[in-house]
Chain A
Amino acid sequence: MAIREELRDYVLDNYLFTDDQSKLKDDDSFLETGILDSNGVMEVIFFLEDEYGVAVAQEEMVPENLDSISRIVSFVEAKNG
Chain B
Amino acid sequence: MSTQDMNNPFKGALDFDKEKEVEKISNGIKAALRDRVKRRGLVVAVSGGIDSSVSLALSVEALGVNKVYALLLPERDSSGETGDRGLELVKHFGVEYEEKNIASTLEAIGCYSERDAAIKRVIPSYNDEWKSKIVITGGLDGQFNHFLLVAKAPDGTMHEESLRLKEYMQIVAATNFKQRIRKTLEYYHADRLNYAVVGTPNRLEYDQGFFVKNGDGSADIKPIAHLYKTQVYAMAEHLGLPESIRNAPPTTDTYSLSQSQEEFYFALPYQKMDVALWALNHGVKAEDLAVELGVTPEQAEYVYKDIEAKRKTTASLHLKPQLMEQVKEIQV
Contact = CB atoms under 8 A, between A and B. Distances in A.
B138 A43 contact: no
B143 A42 contact: no
Contact of B165 (A46, A58, A62): A46
A8 to B, nearest CB: 20
Interface in B271-295: none
A14 to B, nearest CB: 13
A62 B142 contact: yes
Interface in A10-66: 31, 34, 37-39, 41-43, 45-46, 49, 58-59, 61-63, 66
Contacts of A37: 309, 312-313
Contact of A59 (B143, B145, B165, B312): B143
B184 interface: no
Interface in B160-186: 162, 164-166, 168
B92 interface: no
Nearest to A67: B144
Contacts, number: 42
Nearest to A49: B164
A68 to B, nearest CB: 14
Contact of A42 (B137, B141, B142, B165): B165
B313 to A, nearest CB: 4
A63 B144 contact: yes
A76 B165 CA distance: 19
Contacts of A61: 138, 143-144, 146
A16 B164 CA distance: 24
Contacts of A58: 137-138, 143, 146, 162
Interface residues of A, number: 17
A66 B164 contact: no
Contacts of A62: 142-144
Contacts of A43: 165
A80 B56 CA distance: 57
A42 B312 contact: no
A4 B165 CA distance: 22
B144 A34 contact: no
Contacts of B312: 31, 34, 37-38
A38 B164 contact: no
B146 A42 contact: yes
A41 B313 CA distance: 11
A56 to B, nearest CB: 9
Contacts of B141: 59
Contacts of A49: 164
A62 B146 CA distance: 11
A17 B180 CA distance: 30
A28 to B, nearest CB: 16
A35 to B, nearest CB: 11
Contacts of B145: 38
Given A38-B144, A61-B144, A45 B309 contact: no
Task: Among B138, B162, B165, B168, find the residue whose CB has the most chain A CB atoms closer than 10 A.
Answer: B165
B303 to A, nearest CB: 15
Interface of B: 137-138, 141-146, 162, 164-166, 168, 309-310, 312-313
Nearest 3 A/B pairs, CB to CB: A37-B313, A46-B165, A61-B144
Given A42-B168, A62-B142, 16 more contacts: A31-B312, A38-B309, A38-B312, A39-B165, A42-B144, A43-B165, A49-B164, A58-B137, A58-B138, A58-B162, A59-B141, A61-B138, A61-B143, A61-B146, A63-B144, A66-B144
14 contacts: A34-B312, A42-B144, A42-B146, A43-B165, A46-B164, A46-B165, A49-B164, A58-B138, A58-B146, A58-B162, A59-B141, A61-B143, A62-B142, A63-B144
